[in-house]
Amino acid sequence: MPQQVPRLAAVFAVAVIGLFVARSLLVPDTFGDLGHYRAAAIDTIVAHPKEYAGHQECTMCHRPIAEQRAASNHRGVRCEVCHGPAAAHVANPLEIKPAVPRERDLCVLCHAYSPSRPTGFPQIDSVTHNPRMPCAGCHEPHAPEPPVTPRECSACHGQIANQLAVSHHAELNCGTCHEAPKEHRDNPRAVRPTKPAERSFCGTCHAADARSSERIPRIDLRSHGQPYVCWQCHYPHYPEAR
């Protein structure tokens, strides 16, 4: 055997043995127990302290309020949404008290009008809606209800009202096209307002022979857009014609 081979072999053997030694010394104890990772890491993660106690904890002491809330429109809004993280309070109920927010800016986080919010979600315009009055003065946060039946349609249909206001139909009242029974205000989902069912309804203004302002766009009702009712294509709260 040439002289080179045993010499090189010795060097490689030292390196390989060194690696083995390092490996047995440095690989953490629990590595590989559960998979290709340190099982002990899970223990560290699990030991992380909690900030939010969970509504179950709150219910144990604050049962009446919890029951009131559970039967209300805020039944899905758990305690710590408004009162903030309460684990510290649970651990030390007398010394540490959770926040009791009374400002308007907490409520508007959810209830300020935003077109991106789902329709039907109760929203107000914070600037015009009883400015500077605390929300809790009229609405009990644990069982919120409108104090009076809404007068304006826009109280609930903010998105429509907002769009309508900047459209060519801005001057039309809701009542021009919809008939809303009084019961709709009390029980909005059970009793619905009407929608125009006939093409001729829109034709009152838009038909070729309609007696209306000349600036209003006209169509031939017999040939245009059969067989649909107008609002199946056009959005009357924001008609596309400019």
Which residues here bind other proteins, judged by CB under 8 A?
2-5, 7-13, 15-16, 19, 22-23, 26-39, 41-52, 54-55, 74, 76-78, 80-81, 85, 109-110, 114-118, 121, 162-163, 166, 238
Q: What is the DSSP letter of 38?
A: B
Helical H runs in 63-214? 63-70, 79-83, 87-91, 104-111, 135-138, 158-165, 174-177, 182-186, 199-206
Query: Long-range contacts of range 179-183, CB-CB < 8 Å, 24 or more positions apart?
Result: 180/153
Whether 164 and 157 have beta carbons less than 8 Å apart is answered as no
Q: Decide whether 140 or 210 has the Cβ nearer to other proteins.
A: 140
**Min dist. Cβ of residue 28 to other proteins (A):** 7
Q: Decide whether 81 or 136 has the Cβ nearer to other proteins.
A: 81
Q: How far is CA 218 from the centre of its chain?
A: 41
Q: Decide whether 129 or 185 has the Cβ nearer to other proteins.
A: 129
Q: Decide whether 45 or 148 has the Cβ nearer to other proteins.
A: 45
Q: How far is CA 177 from the centre of its chain?
A: 30
**Min dist. Cβ of residue 180 to other proteins (A):** 24
**Min dist. Cβ of residue 38 to other proteins (A):** 5
**Min dist. Cβ of residue 75 to other proteins (A):** 9
